[in-house]
Amino acid sequence: MTLPMVMPTAGLPDAVTICEVGPRDGLQNEATTVPAHVKVEFIRRLLDTGLTVVEATSFVRPEWVPQLADAEEVAGSLAALDRAGVRFPVLVPNLRGLDRAMALGLTDIAVFGSATETFARRNLNRGLEESYAMFAPLVSRANDAGMRVRAYLSMCFGDPWEGEVPIDQVVTAGRRLLDLGCGELSLGDTIGVGTPGHATRLIEAFDAAGVAPSRLAVHFHDTYGQALANTLAAMRCGVTVVDASAGGLGGCPYAESATGNLATEDLVWMLDGLGIRSGVDLGALVAVSSWMAERLGRPSPSRVVQALAGKEKA
């Protein structure tokens, strides 16, 4: 298999943790109904590539996101996939979602906040202050139970209804989530409008406000082809956790302009070329995404999958 030449570059981390979001964020906006057993097999195959953090599902109401109506079935199968050092975060929107996660013995959860009022109301049916009030007891209870709590912050780089989002507004919203007790904050470019300079300024602003890059992750969508460049900029600022989706799957059911996530294969190709450890076998990952693309009935949008899978067939 073709591999990139390794050219380490100063000013970058030695290793990056990939949070694989394909089974949840990647499949939640697919028109094709993916059976639970296929999702579980998808997760198993992803683990076999060396990924150690795989976001499995979301405990939302089925009428909100029909693709995730099988959350109990998928999450109930995770124990059989468990292995040392592996984590399976699940998204929980409220206390009822937390109850469902705890009943299945899950240990990693995530809440989904917003940097803008409009998206908060469209996604959670409540404003920012109401959202924090909803998250507070949820995060507190999860922490008391010894669970790991991650916070997503959407619309950090732009909002389709409100337009440009001021950096200080994003920092304020993110700090509110961390102050509730969330251990990690993932900064989301939900509609993919961010650029490297913007990513750098945002992370620097968080650092200046007392939130070190070690507490941040980045989650870029590739609407304008900037996801990899933005990720590299974030890594130069000290961020070492990157969200990505196998095969570039994904979108957002509440933001129509949001296209796929950063493809995990594209990210791993770049990391391999920079000599940055991720623990992921690129060839195995390409095979997994090709397998899932066949089940979805369409080619993978990942450039690396297209290039390497094409070479294998040639």
Active site amino acids: 252
Quickly list DSSP for 247-269.
GG----TT-TT--PBPBHHHHHH
Query: Tokens standing for 104?
Result: 């299945």
Angle between the N-to-C axes of helices 128-144 and 95-103, in degrees from 0 to 180, rounded to the nearest 10: 30
DSSP structure class, residue 207 = H
Query: CA-CA distance, 121 to 113, in Å (whole number)?
Result: 10
Query: CA-CA distance, 73 to 89, in Å (whole number)?
Result: 15
How far are the Cα atoms of 1, 79, 143 from residue 311, in angstroms, in the given order?
A: 8, 36, 48
Contact predicate 47/311, CB 8 Å: no
Q: Which residues contact 211 (CB under 8 A, 6 or more apart)?
A: 171, 174, 175, 178, 185
**Tokens 């089940």 -> residue:** 295
Query: Tokens standing for 120?
Result: 């908060």
Q: Which residues contact 144 (CB under 8 A, 6 or more apart)?
A: none
Biggest alpha carbon–alpha carbon distance for the chain:
56
- Tally of residues, the chain: 314
Q: What are phi and psi of 88, to 5 degrees?
A: -125, 80
Q: Which residues contact 93 (CB under 8 A, 6 or more apart)?
A: 58, 59, 60, 111, 112, 124
How far are the Cα atoms of 155, 157, 198 from residue 166, in angstroms, in the given order?
A: 11, 8, 11
